[in-house]
Every structure is written in structure tokens, then in C-alpha cells.
Amino acid sequence: MGGNMPEPNSEEQVPELTEQQKYVNEKVAVLLDQIGDEYGESLTQQLVQRLDTTVADFHEEVTNLLSELKEKSVSRQERLRDAWQHRFDTPPPAAEVPAAATEATPAEGPGDDSSNWEKRLETMESGEAGKAPAEAADDDKKKKKKGFFGRKKK
């Protein structure tokens, strides 16, 4: 039976080899010939074993990642298809959207004013107390950059 086992493995490996695999095997054989004399047979076998393990692990990881990617892609396509088919079933509540927008606008307004005021206070405390709030507002306007077409010609 021991003689039968290596034969199927060698028969399985021969048809599976592609041009890329043949090229890699040739390069590895050349490298092993170079290092075989220096490290001995046992270390060379260990190296080949580790390379095989690394390649097998990599192949398994890539296969798993591709299967996950395929599953996620199928799931995403199904969700998009469902969303596309049901896009007209329930109209979006139009009354709620403007109400939320109007509520957010006044809340942001005083928040922006207080943040500007806080910025002015911080600049005053940091040693720029000589600047007036109006001058700080003017500086904010000056800091605003203009686009390429908004610049003056020299």
C-alpha cells in the first residue's frame, strides 16, 4: 500500500501544474541547488516543507476571502434588487424632513454664534486682547481663500 500512495499524489500533481507553477518549481529547484550544498539535506527539506505549508495556507486564505467576497456581493446585489423593486412602494415622509431641517437650523445658529464668541474670547485670553471683535470678524473674512478664477491678475 505504501507504494500505491505516492503514485496517486504524483499523478495528481502533474496535471495540476500550470505554466506559472512550472516556472516557480524551476526557480525553486535552482535556488535549492545553490543552498543545498551549504545547509545540507535536512535543512533543505525543512525549507521545502515550510514553503509548501506557506503556499497552502495562503491558498486557503485567498479561497476563503474570495468566497466571502462572493457571498457579500450576492447579498449586496439582492439588497439592491429589493430596494430597486420596492422604491415606489412607500414614499418617503416629506412632512418630517422639512420639520427636522427647520429644527436643526435654529439650533445651529446660536451654536455657531456662541462658538464664534468663544473663539474671540480664547484669542483675547491668549494675548491678542488688543484686537476688537470687529477686527476678528474682518480677519475671518480675509482668511477666506478665493478660487483660481476669483483672483486678481498681477
pLDDT (tens digit, 0 to 9) for every residue of the chain, 154 residues total? 444 444 444 444 445 678 877 888 888 888 877 776 677 778 878 888 898 899 889 999 999 999 999 999 999 999 999 999 888 876 555 555 554 445 444 444 444 556 777 777 778 877 654 545 555 555 555 556 666 666 666 6
Residues in the chain: 154
Taking the CA atoms of 134, 138, 141 and 143 in sequence, report the sign of the dihedral they define: negative
Model's pTM, two decimal places?
Answer: 0.38
Phi, psi of 52, rounded to the nearest 5 degrees: -60, -45
